Amino acid sequence: MNTTIKPKHQRLVLLVVAVIAMIGATLLAIVALRDQASYFYLPSEIGAAETGRDIRLGGMVEHGSIVTQEDGITIHFIVGDGEARQPVSFTGIAPALFVEGSGVVAEGSMAADGTFMASNLLAKHDENYMPRELAELDTDEVRAQIEATLQ
Amino acid sequence: MHGFANPARFLRLAKWLTPVLLVTGLVMAIAALVYSYTSMPPDRLMGDSVKILPLHVAVSWLGMGGWTMIAIASLVELVWRHPLAAIAARAAAVPGAVFAFCCLATGSIWGRPTWGTWWVWDGRLTSMLVLLFLYLGYIALTSALAREGGSSRIAAIFGLVGAINIPIINRSVVWWNSLHQPPSLTMGNSAIDPVYLYPLAVSTLGFSLLFGAIVLMRMRAILADMQAEARLRRKAQAAAGSMAEGTA
């Protein structure tokens, strides 16, 4: 009886083992990077951040929270993630997509009074694409609308 | 499987398939882009800059698809020693790199008006840039091996190891907080309105056919190069042989 393995199958087994080892190593690295590779902190994660250190804060701009200050160029608003709410102050020109109910990434640092002092704002677009006729809807309603038309 | 291993049979197939893919791909891609730049309605938030969506998604998909093809061809080469696999992997590298570069370029142009920045080092953008560098390394390696006559198995191992970056790019927006938005198209679900989704689908299919045509052209060119080299070598050997006879 012939018990030798075909070279073709030997190579296949060897390669499968190598690929599994590689994926395993990468998964370990990714799990270890989980916190470090994020681009920003959520409001619920930022509480422990030391004051004065440069960090990024990301989340949704709460409805009705944008208040323009007396100097005309400073705005105060609240960033939320469904768990925590973080007051933010920003002086300068906000990007066009910076609107209430939309995502934002603010670069800056925590002040002693618990306000996040932003030096730069980046608008974070969500995954929904929809024409202007439905502009007044919020994210969940947009999603429901698209799914209804695609059915 | 080994039916396609025959280069003569492959060349016969590629000869008529190349123009078919090229023409259909060009027509679909151009139609989708012209439609998206002239007739697509503005997005509720980002306005007219949504017009770049069908182009950006198509080139990004092919930037990642190119390396997926390299990885599959590398696996076939390493396990089954398929003679055309190494050529297919080599042929996919340059178009893949061009598409990866176009992904970064269109994304950057799109990012400026929507996010307010050309570039950030978030998970998605960084892993895509790594893919471009992997392509450049792979191209340098395969062209050096082709010139110096080394084993293409080294390139195949590079192709397989580099493939680990593809699922990382895909999942980067899910695993890590990133400025780039999470996926709009998931298993059977779309967050993209049909007015954008259909041009996107046509554009992606058109560019994919175009990619196929370019890979076939490059495979034919590489095969022709190899034939020409083999012929030169035989001639040189024959000449050396007759000279040796003459001196004897």
Q: pLDDT tens per residue, chain B (248 residues)?
A: 455 567 888 899 999 999 999 999 999 999 999 999 999 999 888 888 999 999 999 999 999 999 999 999 999 999 988 889 999 999 999 999 999 999 999 999 999 989 989 999 989 999 999 999 999 999 999 999 888 877 788 999 999 999 999 999 999 988 888 889 988 888 778 888 889 999 999 999 999 999 999 999 999 999 998 889 889 989 999 988 877 776 65
Query: What is the value of ipTM here, to two decimals?
Result: 0.79
Angstrom distance (rounded) from CA B49 to CA B34 = 14
Residue A115 φ then ψ, to 5°: -90, 140
DSSP strand pairing (A116-124 vs A85-91) = parallel
Q: Residue A52 domain-assigned?
A: yes
Q: Is the pLDDT of residue A138 over 90?
A: no
Q: What is the dihedral of CA B126, B138, B66, B93, to 10 degrees?
A: 130
Confidence class for position A75, pLDDT limits 50, 70, 90: very high
Same domain, A70 and A84: yes
CATH number at residue A56: 2.40.50.140
Q: Residue A137 domain-assigned?
A: no
A127 and B184 within 8 Å at the Cβ level: the answer is yes
Q: Is the pLDDT of residue A141 over 80?
A: no
Closest chain B residue to A105, measured at CA: B179
Same domain, A17 and A66: no
A132 and B50 within 8 Å at the Cβ level: the answer is no
Distance of CA B178 to the CA centre of its chain: 25
Closest chain A residue to B48, measured at CA: A131
Distance from the A149 Cα atom to the nearest Cα atom in chain B, whole angstroms: 8
Same domain, A52 and A91: yes
Domain tally for chain A?
2
Q: Residue A3 domain-assigned?
A: yes
Angstrom distance (rounded) from CA B156 to CA B86 = 7
Other CB atoms within a 10 A radius of the CB of residue A143 amount to 18
Same domain, A22 and A44: no
DSSP strand pairing (A67-68 vs B189-190) = unpaired
Same domain, A115 and A43: yes
Nearest to A116 by CA among A38, A45, A63, A35: A45
Same domain, A75 and A106: yes
What pLDDT, on a 0 to 100 scale, did the predictor assign at position B136?
A: 97
Which CB contacts under 8 angstroms, 24+ apart, belong to A19-23?
A19/B160, A22/B161, A22/B164, A23/B164
Same domain, A55 and A31: no
Taking only the tens place, the pLDDT of each residue in A76-125 is 999 998 888 999 999 988 887 888 888 899 999 998 888 999 999 999 88
Residues 48-107 on B with a CB inside 8 Å of A are 50, 53, 75, 78-81
Q: Is residue A135 a contact partner of residue A101, using CB atoms and an 8 Å limit? A: no
Q: What is the value of pTM for the model shown?
A: 0.87
Residue from the list B123, B183, B191 with its beta carbon closest to the beta carbon of A129 = B191
C-alpha torsion sign, points B219, B225, B228, B231:
negative
B179 and A132 within 8 Å at the Cβ level: the answer is no
What pLDDT, on a 0 to 100 scale, did the predictor assign at position A3?
A: 65
Q: Residue A112 domain-assigned?
A: yes
Tokens read off for A63: 């409805």
Which region, left, alpha or beta, applies to residue A123 given φ > 0 means left and ψ of -120 to 50 means alpha? beta
B174 Cβ under 8 Å from any chain A Cβ: no
Same domain, A27 and A90: no
Same domain, A54 and A110: yes
Angstrom distance (rounded) from CA B42 to CA A44 = 34
SS3 of residue A40 by DSSP = coil
Let me know how many helices (H) and strands (E) chain A has, helices first. 2, 6
Same domain, A51 and A113: yes
Q: Residue A129 domain-assigned?
A: no
Mean per-residue pLDDT over chain A, rounded? 84
A11 and B78 within 8 Å at the Cβ level: the answer is yes
What pLDDT, on a 0 to 100 scale, did the predictor assign at position A32?
A: 81
Range of the domain at A110: 39-123
Angstrom distance (rounded) from CA A47 to CA A39 = 17
Q: Is residue A107 a contact partner of residue A119, using CB atoms and an 8 Å limit? A: yes
Q: Residue A87 domain-assigned?
A: yes
What pLDDT, on a 0 to 100 scale, did the predictor assign at position A107?
A: 92
Which residue type occupies B96? Answer: G
Taking only the tens place, the pLDDT of each residue in A63-74 is 888 999 888 889
Q: Is the pLDDT of residue A26 over 90?
A: no
Q: Is the pLDDT of residue A150 over 80?
A: no
